[in-house]
Structure 1
């Protein structure tokens, strides 16, 4: 809600009324919320509608359900400026903030619940403005004193030409000077969860002064005192802060101050990942560590099996061997706060690295060579056994006595050769057989 509220600062009022969305007059169908800011407790807030007490519920927030003019009261500081909530066919809206010389300001002509709106014209003090608007918006930038006055718009809505109510634009001259900011801790850098105090100072100015604080881009006042205290600051509190000062007749604005909320490191990761596989001896491996969030400067420490081995976001392992196997982890660290007394660490998930000796090609070649050698040895053994068996058989035959009959039965070819060399007579064969028998 703080990013959508705006301050209506008129004169030197100390009780202020904020409106969400930050436009005046407000539109009832946009679910308008009013916020009362002032001294004292929120429980003492009293609300008024059209000059009559609306209710006193002890709340400083009010959700508007009826059109009308609203104010609030805080004890000791009086009534706030008024906020008008309209429920009409056509409404001209002005930013709900104090308008200074040099500001960028746009007026917009709105139809009821954003119904189709055509043929829009703008008027300043009854005079039609030509060529200064773009559709339903009128730009008055940079804002000058002569832009002050009464404005309204006309246009066609629901097949009829409608006229908006008149709104008053007041441009304030910048006469105050020397508005400056200071911060504690100095420099505007604060760690997440710490506190920051901004102070607004005026070198030249008379009379009672009123203050309002803004964060750039939010369009919302954050406080109405010379000091702005931010407790338990969050990461969305970073930005440019400035204060505006009024003495009732003039306004001045400080230069912006950059506030940086330093965020602890978190969600450390290692890439490439997930890494849980084998690599081979002689390979090169590079690991990179990063954090998802964390304000600089961030330091990185590499752990191998729980022991510190390197510093920096990159870990380069060259010509690795089996000794590089194990688990690797990255630790990210940053130190926050003015005196850097708060130290934050984030550990990445562990990654496993297993180094196998040799390359896969060498392993395959060695396996094929071993199988071939085994086959060769086996063939050699078989051949040698056959050679030995043949030699042994031959020697046995040479030592054994020859039996002609056995030879003729066992080796007909040898018997045949013997018959060829020494032909026998049939009678001899018969006599030999007869003697055997």
Structure 2
């Protein structure tokens, strides 16, 4: 039994050392300064006096400049970084430059509930153990959380919490029949479970344009105590998986279409899936591109004279480059490009004009988007200012000729009649 206890202590110490290595041991305070820490060996809280308990003070400042406190009073073990505890009580240490350590309690009670002395994170497996004084046998053990009974064990003395969740935080205690001492209740101990990573937030453009690329980012902050814990990311659209599980926190859609509109969310999972957290939904609506065609000279000059220079221009209000423009005259393709130069127009240029805006082809060879402008009606007339003047002069001459003819006819009739 002693060998098993020693081996368990070594394993626990190894896990403790690994945890310290992941956490950098001295965590940073909000101000960025190191805090003094108090290591306990064996790594269980509270420590029990029937085991050899060693406390080690770590922090900034000069080595050997440690001040020890027991039950709030200065303790005689000054200047030493390591001390052995032989009396029950609450111990703390202080180092210049990093302040006081958290307290560590050493107990000599008849029944003690112990929790691991290392940092507890979501997803971990933790065992609480109910121990009798000097390892006396304990039977009919009951475990409590916040005063409410969790479980009753007739033979066992350990309660496993797996996987750890934030809701497991709280004050625990145990009750049992200790050999030679009868029924006893342990003092409560506090279990604090810290986040492995924060609840993710999904970010991305809520209104991408059809044909444009879309990038969604699933942002979650890992615990500084385990910053390199492998995390997996899963993306959902309207409840259906559209990406992952994957290590990358981003989902890339090279070119979105109308079908990509919907409600998106993401989920972050720990390795093995023991811890899962989902983001709030993000509504994504794909906007359709709008093409617009204009004539120069502009309205109301859609009726132009034959021989005048006319040009048409096409543009897209929203969309992703590069965009190809195609011009239709009475429904037939006549040119390509954003500018259509008709030059000196003739009557044959009359009709309806329309431009088609299409962006580059996708990898699958299909158009990513196509937008049609409204139709423009162009009327080319041969009647201009000079034609009107010529017609006016011709009419005057004709009237004069008719008048002269009447005069000549009257004169001839008069002569013949005489």
TM-score by length of 2: 0.41
Q: Which has the higher helix share?
A: 1
Greater Cα radius of gyration, structure 1 or 2: 1
